[in-house]
Amino acid sequence: MLSVLAHRTYRHLFAAQVIALFGTGLMTVALALLAYDLAGADAGTVLGTALAIKMIVYVTLSPVAAGFASRFPRRTYLVVLDLVRAGTALALPFVDAVWQIYVLIALLQSASAAFTPAFQATIPDILPEEEDYTNALSLSRMAYDLENLLSPMIAAALIGLVGFHWLFSGTVAGFLLSALLVVSVTLPSPKGVQTASPFKRTINGMKIYLRTPRLRGLLALNLTIASSGAIVIVNTIVIVKSYLGLTDADLALAMAAYGGGSMVMAIALPRLLSNLNDRPVMLIAAASLPLWLLCFAMLVASVAKTELWPLLLGTWFLMGIGTSAVLVPSGRLLRNSAHAEDRPMVFAAQFALSHGCWLITYPLAGWLGSVASLSTTLVTLAGIAVVGVLSAARLWPAGDKKVLYHEHPELPRDHPHLANASGKRHAHPFVIDSLHATWPDGRL
């Protein structure tokens, strides 16, 4: 897996991702504590609303931003957005009202909504070999998990020394170092000549995504991930501090358990995916997530609070495993479902549509958690997760293959998609995309 780091450009971009994620991890802990400081027991509601604002920005802005991104040099585009994020994070320590959290989160996440899809779409252009790209996806997942594992622990240590407001300075430093690392490499320009308007390219990206059966299945899996993940991200602080009466350090430990499970699976996945298809791995992993939520709901109803803490850590660890097994292969599905010139728009569509799922589950987890019991909240989100798994199994064909050999009898002989060197019509391999998977009669 680590052999991919021999590629200098990818190595610098991976380091930029790790450092920016570490800063974002510190911000996540600090933001939760800031919400608790300002709203007390209603921290879940505040955090759920702040994250809902983040999702609204992601859903509405990321496809549009991706449509314009091809008009700017990639390196300049990414660096400017990193600087915007650093400048916005600089204001977070001075927040003293809930509405200010909402405004700054909207500004910071607007830059992230433009940055992340462009960054993700750059990696397959740098690493065209599938094995390298799969390893890069696992490393990327491990970066997220390492952030979940280490940054809460470091945050817990720093809180005792400097107070949580100073954690936001780590976010600023992370974005600045990320910008420096991006500046240090030359990035490839998007492939293909883009003559369509940004708006048309945005619409085309959405069409490719929504007309591709495997990606419709991926969208349903995103709903499952969002349902289980919202419980962890929004409600862990309420469970740990209000329900169990534990400390800030225990909050960090709970988040670390979730990240630790995800990291274990990210390490195992490259070997696992070399022997198994993506579909069964992702569906089985997704099906485990509502199961763990329902099990924990039963434990909450039947186990004394003093005995619940280790069970929470174990459940979060198992949920981290399931989450990673769904998210790591997602990049492969996106890469294999679009031409290179369409890939940035397909990644942007995934970014927007997946966060549309979080837009539903984040506020639901926060608001329901404030008016209903913990067990009710867990069961409700688990129910939504089950809907996602069943929908994915139906939408994603069981016989789905990455490459199909097919013909187009309706096209002229000299069409570039058909003709070989002799100009004769021939059957040819093609990665499945919307143009080849959605005719009413099912022809390819």
Q: What is the pLDDT of residue 152?
A: 58
Question: pLDDT per residue over 148-188, tens digit each?
Answer: 556 655 666 666 666 666 777 878 888 899 899 988 888 77
Q: What is the pLDDT of residue 428?
A: 41
Q: Residue 9 — pLDDT band, cuts 50, 70, 90? A: confident
Say if residue 292's pLDDT is above 90: yes
In percent, the amount of the chain with pLDDT more than 70 equals 74
The structure tokens 């599938």 sit at 130
Q: Residue 440 — pLDDT band, cuts 50, 70, 90? A: very low
Task: Give φ, ψ of 208 to 5 degrees.
Answer: -55, -45
More confident site: 342 or 379: 379
Say if residue 124's pLDDT is above 70: yes
Query: What is the phi-psi region of residue 105: left when phi exceeds 0, alpha when psi lies from -120 to 50, beta otherwise?
Result: alpha
More confident site: 366 or 70: 366
409 exposure class (CB count in 10 Å sphere: 0-12, 13-18, 19+): exposed
Q: What is the pLDDT of residue 153?
A: 59
Q: What is the pLDDT of residue 126?
A: 83
Q: Residue 385 — pLDDT band, cuts 50, 70, 90? A: very high
Q: Residue 308 — pLDDT band, cuts 50, 70, 90? A: very high
Say if residue 272's pLDDT is above 70: yes
pTM for the model stands at 0.69
Q: What is the pLDDT of residue 415?
A: 44
User: Looking at the DSSP assignment, which residues form a beta bridge with residue 431?
Assistant: 403
Region 2-190+197-395: CATH code? 1.20.1250.20
More confident site: 205 or 382: 382
- Alpha-carbon Rg for the chain, nearest whole angstrom, is 22
The structure tokens 């939504």 sit at 384
> Average pLDDT for residues 393-406, to the nearest whole number?
70
Q: What is the DSSP string of 12-36?
A: HHHHHHHHHHHHHHHHHHHHHHHHH
Q: What is the pLDDT of residue 165?
A: 67
Q: What is the pLDDT of residue 92?
A: 79
> Average pLDDT for residues 407-430, to the nearest whole number?
43
Question: pLDDT per residue over 205-225, tens digit each?
Answer: 788 888 889 999 999 999 999
Domain ranges for the chain, please list them: 2-190+197-395
Cα–Cα distance for residue pair 127/434, rounded to 1 Å: 24
Q: What is the DSSP string of 180-231?
A: HHHHTS--PPPSS---S-HHHHHHHHHHHHHT-HHHHHHHHHHHHHHHHHHH
Cα–Cα distance for residue pair 79/71, rounded to 1 Å: 15
Question: pLDDT per residue over 81-96, tens digit each?
Answer: 889 888 888 887 787 7
Q: What is the pLDDT of residue 443?
A: 32
Question: pLDDT per residue over 353-366, tens digit each?
Answer: 887 888 888 888 88
Q: What is the pLDDT of residue 2?
A: 66
Structure tokens given for 421: 């060197």
Cα–Cα distance for residue pair 137/423, rounded to 1 Å: 39
Mean pLDDT of the chain: 77
Structure tokens given for 330: 């997602």
